[in-house]
Amino acid sequence: MHWSKRIARARYWSGHDWRGLWQGWMALLWAAWQLRRQPLPDLLAALQRQPVSAHPAPPTELVQGVQRAAHLFPRPMLCLPQSIAIARLLSQQGQPYAFLLGAQPKDETLAAHAWIEIEGIPINSPPDSAQRHPVLLEQAIPAGETGLR
């Protein structure tokens, strides 16, 4: 779909939707930048040091904001930067979650996939993600402290 058609739908969004888009956009920018600057294990460790917001939002709203931002982003934002962005927002909410990375041999290549789970349920990926992409890395991120640091 052409970019102008994507943005045309946005005029029907509420202020709440725009706020989610803004948060998602900023988190995607951060994720893309950090993925270029440091190895994934260091990046996941940095997520545990995020300041925690006093005003948490439901995880589904965070995922929706990141997915909307990824859809409107000028360059492709695939599962890894989206999952890192969602992880950052969840860390800022003080929400415990797990970051998972799986891979499956496909023809002569390797099909990899990253996703986030809360209580064992994928929130930004199909429920059978672990079956389709055997897990190579799982990093549990504990709940953060409440209130601003």
Residue holding tokens 């970051």?
Answer: 99
Q: Are 134 and 101 in contact (CB under 8 A)?
A: no
Confidence of residue 65 (pLDDT cuts 50, 70, 90): very high
Instruction: Write down the H helix ranges in 38-138.
Output: 40-47, 59-72, 79-93, 129-132
pLDDT tops 90 at residue 143: no
Q: How confident is the model at residue 53 (pLDDT cuts 50, 70, 90)?
A: confident
Q: What is the pLDDT of residues 1-20, one digit of tens each?
A: 565 666 666 666 677 777 88
Q: Averaged over 98-122, what is the pLDDT?
A: 93
Q: Is the pLDDT of residue 41 over 80?
A: yes
Can you tell me the distance from the alpha carbon of 110 to that of 146, in angstroms, rounded to the nearest whole number?
40
- The domain limits of the chain are 3-141
- Predicted confidence at residue 106, as pLDDT, reads 82
Structure-model confidence comparison of residues 49 and 83, the more confident one:
83
Confidence at residue 66, expressed as pLDDT on a 0 to 100 scale: 97
Give percent of the chain above pLDDT 90.
59
110 or 10: which leads in pLDDT: 110
Q: What pLDDT was estimated at residue 79?
A: 96
Assign 47 a pLDDT band (cuts: 50, 70, 90).
confident
